[in-house]
Each structure stands twice: as structure tokens, then as C-alpha cells.
Amino acid sequence: MFLDYVDVIFCHHPEPCTPIEETVRAMNYIIEQDWAFYWGTSNWPASSILEACEIADRLGAW
């Protein structure tokens, strides 16, 4: 794509075989590398979003 960064990366559904903490850490890494400004979700159950938010808060990943 020859881009320096993208504005947002979406995780369209939680991967059943991947812990949500691993997803949060991976998305935070992408943001820390300045490859993206934000990450978001779609088609996630509310409970998974809440878990991701709690993990991100615990990790200081906001």
C-alpha cells in the first residue's frame, strides 16, 4: 500500500483461538510503532469489548 500509517485497524471478530489479551497487546504494538492511530472492533460481543477495555486499562494501553 506504500503508506506510512493507517488511521484505524479493525478487528472484525474475536478470534476464538487467540486470547483477547494477545489481540490487545498486538493492536497496542501497532499503535506504538506509529503504524496506525487507532484500533476498533466490529461484530464483537459486548462482553469481549468490555474484557478488551479492562485488559487495555490494566496494561496502560490507551
Let me know if residue 1 belongs to a domain: no
Residue 40 lies in domain: 6-59
Is the entire prediction scored with pTM above 0.75?
yes
Phi, psi of 44 (to 5 degrees): -100, 140
* Number of folded domains that form the chain: 1
pLDDT in tens, 5-62: 999 999 999 999 999 999 999 999 999 999 999 999 999 999 999 999 999 999 998 6
Bridge partners (DSSP) listed for residue 9: 39
Q: What is the pLDDT of residue 1?
A: 73
Cα 32 to Cα 12: distance, rounded to the nearest angstrom? 21
Cα 59 to Cα 62: distance, rounded to the nearest angstrom? 8
Bridge partners (DSSP) listed for residue 4: none
Cα 49 to Cα 10: distance, rounded to the nearest angstrom? 13
Let me know if residue 16 belongs to a domain: yes
